[in-house]
Amino acid sequence: MAYKISNDCIFCGACADACPVGAISEGDGKYVIDPAKCIDCGSCASECPVGAPNEE
Ligand code: SF4
Ligand code: SF4
């Protein structure tokens, strides 16, 4: 299981700063989470202003 960022992402970058393992990077039009690195902590979901990161 890993978190995934939906197309609601407004590209603010807050989640990338909040991620403790550096799993989030800039993708094409939205930020993306590397499922191999994500430890399911939920920090990105807590920081996101639009609720884009969701648990798969
Ligand atoms: Fe990073 Fe935690 Fe979000 Fe996974 S759930 S991408 S580890 S902040
Ligand atoms: Fe996108 Fe939310 Fe991350 Fe901002 S915090 S880059 S809106 S997923």
Residue with the two structure tokens 């990105």: 44
Query: Which ligand 1 atom minimizes the distance to the CA of 15?
Result: 8
What angle (nearest 5°) sits at the alpha carbon of residue 22, between those of residues 56 and 50? 50
Overall domain count for the chain: 1
Specify the CATH number for the domain of residue 10: 3.30.70.20
Residue 47 in this model has a pLDDT that exceeds 90: yes
Of residues 32, 38, 35, the one with CA closest to residue 6: 32
Residue type, position 48, single letter: C
Of residues 34, 35, 30, 55, the one with CA closest to residue 43: 55
Going by alpha carbons, the residue nearest to atom 2 of ligand 2 is 48
Contact in structure between 30 and 11 (CB atoms under 8 Å)? yes
* pLDDT tens digit sequence for 9-25: 999 999 999 999 999 99
* Domain extent for 18: 3-55
Residue 33 in this model has a pLDDT that exceeds 90: yes
Going by alpha carbons, the residue nearest to atom 8 of ligand 1 is 19
The pTM of the full predicted model, rounded to 2 decimals, is: 0.95
